[in-house]
Amino acid sequence: MIRGTVKAQDSELVVPGARVTVTDTADAVLGEVTTAGDGKFFLRFAAPGRFIVTVRKVGWKPSFTDPISAAPTDTMLVDFLVPAEPTTLDAAEIRANAVSTFNSRALSDAERKGWKVISPATVDTYRDIAGNFIDLLRESGTTGLNLSTRDCIRSIRYNRCMTYVLDGVPAGTSLFVHPRDIYFIAVLSATQSASQWGDKAPWGAIAIYTRMHGDRRRP
């Protein structure tokens, strides 16, 4: 697993929307991801032993690492300072392919259904200062939840344990997830959760969508 930040070389301002590609030494692609609004990226892939990380974006000079050696269970920090590169584009030759990710569709779906969404921007604001998931909920100003009990998160209205739902799958009333790995959160009432997942989430739900799961692009 690698994580890091892409910044401009001259100003050290973050560079969002840059394509980060991991290849092996034979130039086979092992994984790709796009930097978020804060210039950060997060990617999990099967490392063959040695790999190269490359950053590309129109208007910036392509940048790449030397071959990196890593064990399968390693987590590595790979930061980039990329130099600007003026680029002229011929509009007649530009083609665009639109893709949606699991997370972008899940976020749109949650907003459309009227779930109480803690947006990616809000999560990003507090994820680095929150010691755990409960702290993240407190910092984001979430209401209607009892966060003081040790056994589970409870709905204030029903005083019953709410169900965690991880990347769309009900995961019970107890779950560990690190704030840095979260993309967005949705809080569902008992009616909403029961309608969505039936008796697997009868008393409300805390739906968590992770950044790792959203890395897998789906057309």
Whose CA is closest to 184, among 115, 98, 99? 115
pTM of the predicted model as reported, rounded to 2 decimal places: 0.54
Sorting pLDDT into bands at 50, 70 and 90, what band is 219?
very low
- Give pLDDT, residue 12: 84
The chain-wide mean pLDDT, for the chain, equals: 87
Domains and CATH numbers, the chain: 2-93 (2.60.40.1120), 100-218 (2.170.130.10)
Q: What's the rounded mean pLDDT across residues 38-54?
A: 87
Could you give the count of Cα atoms lying within 13 Å of 85 in the half-sphere of its Cβ? 11
Q: Choose among 173, 155, 156: nearest CA to 164.
A: 173
Q: Is 56 exposed, middle or buried (0-12, 13-18, 19+ CB in 10 A)?
A: middle
Token pair for 184: 């967005």
In this predicted structure, what is the pLDDT of residue 99? 57
pLDDT at 213: 52
Instruction: For 181-212, write each residue's pLDDT tens digit.
Output: 899 999 999 999 999 999 999 999 999 998 86
Report the alpha-carbon distance of residue 108 to residue 95 in Å, rounded. Answer: 25
pLDDT per position as a tens digit, 62-118: 999 999 988 878 888 999 999 988 776 666 666 766 656 778 888 989 998 999 999
If phi > 0 it is left, if psi is from -120 to 50 it is alpha, else beta; for residue 107 that is: alpha
Tell me the three state secondary structure of residue 164: strand
Q: Model confidence over 13-44: pLDDT tens digits? A: 999 999 999 998 888 888 889 999 899 998 88
Per-residue confidence (pLDDT) for residue 212, from 0 to 100: 64
